[in-house]
């Protein structure tokens, strides 16, 4: 069964990714040592909240006509692709549970898991945003999506550097 998304629904899904991302980073910050590491995760949470505001703003700018589907995709493959991503961990808001941050682990192992989990989730969000660009006309914010992708890629670079420095 195919799905027929419109730009409004895509922006809503993107906002949910960002809400989940902020929740995820705040959860990691709770189990992180106080100081630079904790502050980094809290900064990432704030950035994700900023991204959510961008998507809210983008939704607010849509006209009723803009909310209609504009993608020629008679087989619904693009929508199925996005729906499959929506069914993944990016959207469930409980990703931190699957990485067992609360286990009795050495602090070093806990932080390595946190960095890996954050990298994985950032990658998943980038994949979603790349797919979502197909649904978003140029004048409705495609350039802002590209900016968010670049920020998510920057997060991966920072997190990867932190992880490498711990190995």
- Tens-place pLDDT, residues 82-113: 666 655 655 455 555 655 655 677 778 888 88
What tokens appear for 85 in the block?
Answer: 């991503």
pTM: 0.76
10: pLDDT confidence band, cut at 50, 70 and 90? confident
Average pLDDT, the chain: 79
Q: Where are the domains of the chain?
A: 7-166
- Looking at domain 7-166, its CATH superfamily turns out to be Ferritin, core subunit, four-helix bundle (1.20.1260.10)
Q: Using the 8-state DSSP alphabet, how is residue 103 labeled?
A: S
* Residue closest to 90 by CA, chosen among 56, 131, 117, 124: 124
Q: Using the 8-state DSSP alphabet, how is residue 104 labeled?
A: S
Residues 6+ apart with CB under 8 A from 23: 45, 93
Residue 45 pLDDT: 94
């Amino acid at each position: 069964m195919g799905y027929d998304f419109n730009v409004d629904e895509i922006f809503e899904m993107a906002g949910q990714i960002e809400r989940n991302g902020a929740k995820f980073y705040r959860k990691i910050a709770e189990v992180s040592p106080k100081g630079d590491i904790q502050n980094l995760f809290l900064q990432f949470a704030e950035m994700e909240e900023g991204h959510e505001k961008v998507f809210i703003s983008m939704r607010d700018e849509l006209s009723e006509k803009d909310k209609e589907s504009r993608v020629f995709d008679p087989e619904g493959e693009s929508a199925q692709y996005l729906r499959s991503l929506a069914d993944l961990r990016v959207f469930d808001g409980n990703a931190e549970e699957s990485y067992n941050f609360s286990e009795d682990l050495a602090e070093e192992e806990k932080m390595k898991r946190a960095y890996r989990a954050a990298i994985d989730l950032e990658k998943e969000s980038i994949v979603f945003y790349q797919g979502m660009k197909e649904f978003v006309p140029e004048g409705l914010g495609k350039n802002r999506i590209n900016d968010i992708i670049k920020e998510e890629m920057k997060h991966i670079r920072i997190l990867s550097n932190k992880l490498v420095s711990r190995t």
